[in-house]
Amino acid sequence: MNGPTLNNRICVSIADPSVDVALAAARKAAESADVIEIRLDSLTVPAVQPFIDGVAKPLLFTCRPQWEGGQYDGEEVARIDLLVEAVRAGAAYVDIELRAEEDSRRRLLDAAKGSACRVIVSWHDFKVTASEQGLGKVFQQMYRSGADIGKIVTTAREYRDVLRVLNLQDEAAEMEFPLIAFCMGPVGVISRVATCGLGGYMTYASPDAGAATAPGQIPVAALRRMLTELAHAG
């Protein structure tokens, strides 16, 4: 049986307070990225349509609440309204948290039915990496959530943390469930590259000239070079 092939799908996260600045950054990042994530929670006045109209690459819209490491602190209904708007406007992906209210997830999943938009259900731990059993429990909840794609991202304190998270790709492959899985932090940087060769659906990078949206993000041009060199080495 052949192992997974190298997957070079890179998503660049854009988090700026101004729509105009974020749009310019997204257009620049599109030169190297496969997907552009627009962090609606970072925008002073969140907007969807300017990015749909102004960026040619597939777009992922995220409105991350403060309780999951984001900046959004408004009403939950309004947050989901923005993501539903993105679905209807033609987004390629939207992201909602596994910890979100069940009604919120169900509303977004229902909105995406019959559309080309795929729903990523995500789970982040900005402090540690859970045990193998704990990660397995999160994975099973994610699989049963109705997600089109899962995303499990933790913070690595040692190399064993990285291995536990990357090993989730084995279970994901067996269940034919697309999974994004890697670690944040200095120890986790290698996982952002390694996941691409282990069946990971996508990895995330920062803009070359912009700020990272999570600890350990690699600038997109550097990450693209690494993946290209690995592909040639194989």
Please report whether residue 2 resides in a domain. Answer: no
Q: What is the CATH number of the domain that holds 137?
A: 3.20.20.70
pLDDT at 4: 47
Which residues is 65 bridged to in the sheet?
72
The answer to whether residue 5 sits within a structural domain is no
Range of the domain at 146: 10-233
Whether 92 contacts 65, CB under 8 Å: no
Q: Does residue 1 belong to any structural domain of this protein?
A: no
Q: Within a domain: residue 3?
A: no
Query: Where does residue 230 rank: exposed (0-12), middle (13-18), buried (19+ CB within 10 A)?
Result: middle
pTM for the whole thing?
A: 0.94
Residues tagged active-site? 124, 151
**152 belongs to a structural domain:** yes
**Which positions ≥6 away from 7 have C-beta within 8 Å?**
196, 197, 199, 200, 201, 202
Total domains present in the chain? 1
- Residue 15 in contact with residue 39, Cβ under 8 Å? yes
Q: Is residue 63 part of a domain?
A: yes
Q: What is the pLDDT of residues 157-186, one digit of tens each?
A: 999 999 999 999 999 999 999 999 999 999
Q: Which long-range contacts (CB under 8 A, 24 or more apart) does 52-58 make?
A: 52/86, 52/89, 52/90, 52/91, 54/23, 54/26, 54/27, 55/23, 55/26, 55/27, 55/30, 56/30, 57/30, 57/33, 58/34, 58/92, 58/93
- Token pair 């997974």 is at which residue? 4
What residues of the chain score a pLDDT lower than 70? 1-7, 234
Contact 161, 188 (CB under 8 A): yes
Q: What is the pLDDT of residue 120?
A: 98
- Confidence (pLDDT) at 234: 58
Residue 207 located in a structural domain: yes
Residue 227 lies in a domain: yes
Query: What pLDDT is attached to residue 7?
Result: 66
pLDDT of residue 81: 98
pLDDT, one tens digit per residue, over 99-136 is 999 999 999 999 999 999 999 999 999 999 999 999 99
